[in-house]
């Protein structure tokens, strides 16, 4: 991005209404231009590889693949683009996982109307954008890697499965939502139960509420 050029942005979210809302917010400033939209992770990866964009707004819950998986793939092949993760989730474990995977920032959709423009300007300049809540979580983790909570040992896909189970979804519903087979989701469930040393779905739900991972 040159000094006087607009910040070129790609929006990747499976909800057309949300994409329209984000575009409307960004249309109010002359310094940012939305150059493309994607409605799934595959399209986002394709657009980033074809277009010269400065910032990718990437939803963490995509229909075909997890947003963090898309983030890792993009950062592996295009380390220059700043990826700003968007999520409906609370600013906790998902934010930390996104930042550790190469995201330049993490923005909750509820606060997008007030923080979006500033967040894009920050990450386009090579800075990180995090809220005070995320900064506090990161600070608390410093020097505590050896004392990780059980859920922090899960892979990104295992963690996503864990949160969905704790939210009351069945293995079949999770498989449909993630476009995976029931067998694969069952495997994730088995592995995460082993890692967390728990036995039943009820244990996962209790753990998630106890650690404020679901509402």
pLDDT tens digits for range 174-201: 999 888 899 999 999 999 999 999 999 9
Q: What is the pLDDT of residue 91?
A: 59
Q: What is the pLDDT of residue 19?
A: 93
Q: What is the pLDDT of residue 142?
A: 61
- The pair of structure tokens assigned to 131 is 């809220």
- The pair of structure tokens assigned to 153 is 């040992």
Mean pLDDT of the chain: 87
Q: Give mean pLDDT, residues 115-119.
A: 92
Beta bridge mates, 83: 56
- The pair of structure tokens assigned to 161 is 């499965």
Single out the residue of 89, 125, 84 nearest to residue 104, CA to CA: 84
Could you tell me the CA-to-CA distances from 141 to 107, 137, 145, 192 in Å, in that order? Answer: 20, 6, 7, 21
Q: What is the pLDDT of residue 20?
A: 94
Q: What is the pLDDT of residue 1?
A: 56
Q: Is the pLDDT of residue 151 over 60?
A: yes
Contact in structure between 133 and 174 (CB atoms under 8 Å): no
- The pair of structure tokens assigned to 162 is 């864990």
The number of residues making up the chain comes to 215
Q: Is the pLDDT of residue 148 over 90?
A: no
Q: What is the pLDDT of residue 127?
A: 93
Could you report the per-residue pLDDT of 196-214, keeping only the tens digit for each?
999 999 999 999 888 888 8
- Topology (CATH level 3) of domain 7-139: Rossmann fold (3.40.50)
Share of the chain above pLDDT 70, in %: 92
- Topology (CATH level 3) of domain 148-210: Arc Repressor Mutant, subunit A (1.10.10)
Q: Give mean pLDDT, residues 149-171.
A: 90
Question: Highest-confidence range of 19-33, 69-83, 110-124, by mean pLDDT?
Answer: 19-33
Beta bridge mates, 33: 8
Residue 66: band (very low, low, confident or very high) from pLDDT cuts 50, 70, 90: confident
Could you report the per-residue pLDDT of 128-147, keeping only the tens digit for each?
998 777 777 777 666 555 56
Residue 22: band (very low, low, confident or very high) from pLDDT cuts 50, 70, 90: very high
Q: Is the pLDDT of residue 154 over 80?
A: yes
Could you report the per-residue pLDDT of 69-108, keeping only the tens digit for each?
899 989 888 778 999 998 876 656 778 888 888 999 998 8
Contact in structure between 157 and 179 (CB atoms under 8 Å): no
Q: Is the pLDDT of residue 126 over 70?
A: yes
Between 115 and 136, whose confidence is greater? 115
Q: Where are the domains of the chain?
A: 7-139, 148-210
Coil vs helix vs strand at 130: coil
Cα 50 from chain centroid? 22
């Amino acid at each position: 991005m040159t000094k006087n050029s607009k910040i070129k942005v790609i929006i990747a979210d499976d909800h057309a209404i949300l994409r329209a809302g984000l575009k409307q917010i960004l249309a109010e400033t002359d310094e940012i231009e939305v150059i493309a939209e994607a409605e799934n992770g595959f399209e986002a990866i394709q657009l980033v590889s074809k277009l010269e964009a400065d910032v990718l707004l990437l939803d963490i819950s995509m229909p075909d693949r997890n947003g963090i998986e898309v983030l890792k793939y993009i950062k592996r092949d295009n380390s220059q683009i700043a990826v700003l993760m968007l999520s409906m989730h609370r600013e906790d474990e998902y934010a930390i996982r996104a930042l550790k995977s190469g995201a330049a920032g993490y923005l909750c959709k509820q606060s997008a109307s007030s923080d979006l423009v500033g967040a894009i300007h920050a990450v386009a300049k090579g800075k990180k954008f995090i809220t005070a809540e995320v900064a506090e979580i990161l600070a608390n983790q410093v020097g505590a890697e050896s004392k990780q909570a059980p859920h922090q040992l899960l892979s990104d896909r295992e963690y996503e499965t864990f949160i969905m189970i704790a939210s009351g979804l069945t293995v079949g519903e999770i498989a449909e939502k993630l476009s995976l087979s029931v067998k694969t989701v069952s495997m994730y469930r088995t592995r995460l139960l082993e890692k967390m040393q728990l036995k039943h779905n009820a244990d996962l739900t209790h753990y998630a509420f106890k650690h404020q991972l679901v509402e």
